[in-house]
Amino acid sequence: MNQRGFTLLEIILIIVLFAVASALVARQFGSIFGWKQQGEVRKLLATVNFLSEEAEGRGNGYRLIIDLSRESYYVLRETVDEERSVRQVDYLANLRTKKEQERRAVEEREQLLSLEEEFEREDSRQSGSLETLFFEHIFADPYGGVRLARPLEFPELAQTKTFSDGIDLYELKTPRETIEEGEGFIRFPAGGSPEFASLKLRANDQVFTLILNPATGRMQVVSGDVDFEWNESNAS
């Protein structure tokens, strides 16, 4: 089985990317958080920046799934669902209780394939003709036929990261929804820019808003509870 990985140069570039992202994030905090909380928030921002680079540069789609009730997050990969090429619309999504939504999220995660199964499926998909792979990549519908899977190159991203006591996530806003409890997600479409998102948190009796700018693919920290609406004029 051919498990394609990174070249040495790509690995070095990824390490440098994480280092630079972490350094830039560190300058935004000063003494706002405790040292442990600073590290956790920096890791979240570095993860967002990294997913933006991966999605646009390497054409890998991702979802950053954030659980406000458990103060945690994890990452899943968006991949082509060969068995479902037409977008499936869930018309009952907004009518389900939070408890039912959480149950379905847990069920969906339990059904994820193992890494070995994912490599086998990816190897089988890439064994197709170059023409098929090309058109699949160029003309793929970013909203349809998507299957969630573990990140092949970075399986550790699928592990749940939980914030320590003292950090309270209380609102996640995207173009699709605004939630104050339970799970929501931020999309990083393959080959494109991430969607706008804002994440509000409380730390040490202070409030901050983390804003993801689609134009730059970067998340920044703003002091206070800021209600921000994305439009093209914000791109500058």
For residue 113, the model assigns a pLDDT of: 63
The burial class, CB within 10 Å (0-12 / 13-18 / 19+), for 32 is middle
Query: Residue 2: what pLDDT?
Result: 46
| Number of compact structural domains in the chain | 1
Give a yes or no: residue 1 inside a domain.
no
Global pTM? 0.69
Domain presence at residue 170: yes
- The verdict on residue 3 lying in a domain is no
20 in a structural domain: yes
- Separation of alpha carbons 160 and 163, rounded Å: 10
**Domain presence at residue 144:** yes
Residue 52 pLDDT: 94
Question: What is the pLDDT at residue 86?
Answer: 47
Residue 2 lies in a domain: no
Which pLDDT score is estimated for 33?
59
Q: Is residue 45 part of a domain?
A: yes
| Residue 151 near residue 143, CB atoms below 8 Å | no
Judged by DSSP in three states, 187 sits in strand
The pair of structure tokens assigned to 55 is: 């999605």
**Rounded mean pLDDT for each run of 10 residues along the chain, 236 residues in total:** 57 62 52 72 94 88 95 91 52 60 64 61 56 54 69 88 93 94 93 94 90 94 87 57
Per-residue pLDDT at 169:
97
pLDDT at 137: 56
d(CA 50, CA 138): 22
DSSP string, 105-168: HHHHHHTPPPHHHHHHHHHHHHTS-HHHHHHHHHS--TTSSEEEE--SS-GGGGS-EEPPTTEE
By residue range, what is the domain housing residue 120?
8-235
Whether 51 maps to a domain, the answer reads yes
Residue 34: CATH number of its domain:
3.55.40.10
